[in-house]
Amino acid sequence: MNKFTIVHLSDPQLTAAAVEPQYHQQVPPIEKLQQIFDDVLAHQIAPDLIVIGGDLMQNGTGQDYAKLRAYLNEQAERLQAPIQVILGDQDDREAFNAGYLSQAHQPYYAYKQMYQNMDFYFLDSKWEANKEAGWLDREQLDWLNKNLHIAPRRRAFIFLHHPLDAPALRSMRYALLQNNRELLAILHGHNIGGIFTGHLHFGASYLVDNTIPVTTVGSATTYINCQDPHYHEVHDAINYNVITIQRGMASVTNHPLYLGQTVIDTITIGNTGFAKHRPRLTGSRRVVNEPFL
């Protein structure tokens, strides 16, 4: 199997021109995102795929998402690699559907693609009822389960916005995927090569289910120091990962482009545990499984 290279970044958190970024950033988010694309080109990384792992925009309208798609299409052509996106907790689903997909009333955006006899799953963990935590709907889990059983021997890699639970992230459970057990029950016994996430604004690597590696990429816009569970410090930052897959094995290299020493914002956290009220795993909603490129 030939080497397959993925550029993985997350949380660009772009804003419209008239909207202030969430944090007091010294460099506009769009300039940070452009620096990543420029760095990929300058260092001749030549990715086969680029994945933007959610939190694409803050307070984005349909028009904003349409402009984002046009911009990403330009970058994809420039870098000669398709750019795939998933939704994060800060994305507006209706605006994304209307502006980015030119579709309406899609309950979530999940899809599957095959490259070099490998399956790549892009899941939608945005939970409408909660602005921070993640959730995978029953219908999406059923769709994933069905597709994994179609090709049980094929190596599969999964991208979603929210990380899975781990001992080191115990104080971050309010921000993680809330139905980890249901997802792991579906993945158990399948040929899973790795799970790649974002959301935390710092990098992390760990195992789930004793065998599946999870890698969380640092943010494209900020670094958040979460050592104090109830008081987080925000720094300007630019970060992305390069995932190299060869013979079904993935290795990850971190590419930090900038880390500001000044604390530009602070975040106060109350309850650090899992959400108390979770939806039932029922429903009959349709899954979107068509990529945008």
pLDDT at 4: 97
Q: How far apart are CA 79 and CA 237, in angstroms?
A: 23
**In a 3-state reduction of DSSP, which class is residue 260?**
strand
pLDDT at 131: 78
**Domain edges within the chain:** 4-268
**Angle in degrees, CA 133, 250, 68, rounded to 5:** 50
For strands 111-115 and 118-122, give the pairing.
Answer: antiparallel
Q: How far apart are CA 208 and CA 60, in angstroms?
A: 34
The answer to whether the CB of 99 falls within 8 A of the CB of 66 is yes
pLDDT at 24: 73
Alpha-helical (H) ranges within the chain are: 29-42, 62-79, 93-99, 138-150, 180-187
pLDDT at 290: 43
Q: Max Cα separation, the chain?
A: 50
CATH of 4-268, one of 3.40.50.720, 1.10.1740.10, 1.10.10.10, 3.60.21.10: 3.60.21.10
Beta-carbon neighbour count of residue 123 at 10 Å? Answer: 29
Contacts of 240 (CB under 8 A, 6+ apart): 7, 8, 9, 36, 39, 40, 217, 218, 220, 255, 257
The per-residue pLDDT string of the chain (293 residues; one tens digit each, 9 = 90 and over) reads: 589 999 999 999 998 765 566 667 778 899 999 999 999 999 999 999 999 999 999 989 999 999 999 999 999 999 999 999 999 999 999 999 999 999 877 888 999 999 989 999 999 999 986 779 999 999 999 999 999 999 888 999 999 999 999 999 999 999 999 999 999 999 999 999 999 999 999 999 999 999 999 999 999 999 999 999 999 999 999 999 999 999 999 999 999 999 999 999 999 999 999 988 777 655 444 444 444 33
Q: How far apart are CA 85 and CA 291, in angstroms?
A: 9
pLDDT at 152: 87
**N-to-C CA span, the chain:** 24
pTM for the complete prediction? Answer: 0.92
pLDDT at 23: 67
Q: How far apart are CA 196 and CA 160, in angstroms?
A: 7
pLDDT at 18: 52
